[in-house]
Amino acid sequence: MLGVRRKIMVAVDGSAVSDKAVHEAVWLACCQDGKFKNKIFAVFVKADRLRDYDDMFVKGVAAEGEINERWQQILDHAFLVIKKLAAEKDIPLEIIVVEGEPAASINHLAHKHDIDLLVIGSTGKGAMKRAFLGSVSAEVIEHAPCGVYVVRA
């Protein structure tokens, strides 16, 4: 519907695929020539999966302060592209970081913010090479409270 602001949520995990998803989300947000600007919510879920990002932490050698610093670097990197593109295109952006299980948290946030469309990568940071879907995207699709746009790797 023209003139109605749409709420688009993009799930980022710092992978190249989620950066592709960010580009698509921005493109979708720019598509509508309405009175109001669409809004993008970018969400990163801090799961107990730092091992996806850094082998050092698997071995348990990092101190608490180091871990927090590493998380901050990961978050800065994960949100880099969406922050840049949203600023360039003047799209309202809300950054959300939560702790929890990724798929359930993403779907919960989509429901909570009354999101119109979720944008997600087919795969992400996981090391395992899959045919199409990672475990997070598969579960998001299954339980999402709205439509899901899956961006292929």
Ligand X SMILES: Nc1ncnc2c1ncn2[C@@H]1O[C@H](COP(=O)(O)OP(=O)(O)OP(=O)(O)O)[C@@H](O)[C@H]1O
The site for Mg ion (CB under 5 A) is made up of 124-126, 134
CB of 36 to ligand X, least distance (A): 26
Binding residue for ligand X, selected from 25, 40, 74, 136, defined by CB under 6 A:
136
Whichever of 42 and 91 has its CB closer to ligand X, that residue is 42
Sequence letter at residue 14: G
Binding residue for ligand X, selected from 8, 9, 17, 93, defined by CB under 6 A:
17
Give the rounded distance of the alpha carbon of 26 from its chain centre.
Answer: 12
Q: Which does 14 bind (CB under 5 to 8 A by kind): Mg ion, ligand X, none?
A: none
Segment near ligand X (CB under 6 A); pick from 25-33, 54-62, 83-91, 115-123: 115-123
Cα–Cα distance between 55 and 109 in angstroms, integer? 29
58, 144, 153, 68: which is closest to 102 by C-alpha?
A: 144
Give the rounded distance of the alpha carbon of 69 from its chain centre.
Answer: 20
According to the binding rule CB under 6 A, does residue 41 interact with ligand X? no
Enumerate residues 6+ apart whose C-beta is below 8 A from 122: 17, 132, 133, 134, 137, 150, 151, 152, 153
CB of 42 to ligand X, least distance (A): 9
According to the binding rule CB under 6 A, does residue 107 interact with ligand X? no
Helix %, strand %, coil % of the chain (to 5): 45, 20, 35
Contact flags string 59-98 toward ligand X, x per CB under 6 A: ----------------------------------------
